[in-house]
Structure 1
Amino acid sequence: MSEPMEALVALGVRAVIGAHTQAQDAGRTDDVVALYTPDGVLELPGAAPIEGHDALREAFKGWAPTKPQLHLVANTVLNSWTEDEATAVSDVAFLQRGESGWAVQVIGRYVDTMRRQDGTWRLARRSTTYQP
Structure 2
Amino acid sequence: MTSADPRQPAREPNDLGRFFLERVNAGDLDGLVALYEPDAVLEFPPGTVVVGHEQIRRVYSELLAARPRLEPGVQAPALAHGDLALTSTRLTDGGATAEIARRQADGTWLWAVDQPTVR
TM over 0.5: yes
Q: Which has the higher strand share?
A: 1
CA contact (8 A) 1:75 1:90 kept: yes
Question: Closer, same or farther in 2 for the Cα pair 1:112/1:26, shift >3 Å?
Answer: same
Q: Which has the higher helix share?
A: 1
Aligned residue pair count: 108
Query: Partner amino acid for 2:91?
Result: V
Distance in 2, matches of 1:89 and 1:18, equals 11
Gapped runs of 5+ residues in structure 2? 1-10
CA contact (8 A) 1:112 1:127 kept: yes
Question: Closer, same or farther in 2 for the Cα pair 1:75/1:85, shift >3 Å?
Answer: same
Gapped runs of 5+ residues in structure 1? 1-10, 94-105
Structure 1 segments of 4 or more deviating over 3 A?
65-68
Distance in 1, matches of 2:23 and 2:103, equals 20
Equivalent residue, structure 2, for 1:89 = 88
- How well do the aligned residues superpose, as a CA RMSD in angstroms? 2.0
Q: Secondary structure at the match of 1:63?
A: helix
Give the share of equivalent positions with the same residue, in percent: 28
TM-score normalised by length of structure 2: 0.78
TM-score normalised by length of structure 1: 0.71
Superimposed CA distance per residue, residues 62-116 of structure 1 (whole angstroms, 9 cap, x where no aligned partner): 001545512312141323422x2111222123xxxxxxxxxxxx43111110011
Higher relative contact order (CA 8 A, sep 6+): 2
Larger radius of gyration: 1
Query: Partner amino acid for 2:96?
Result: R
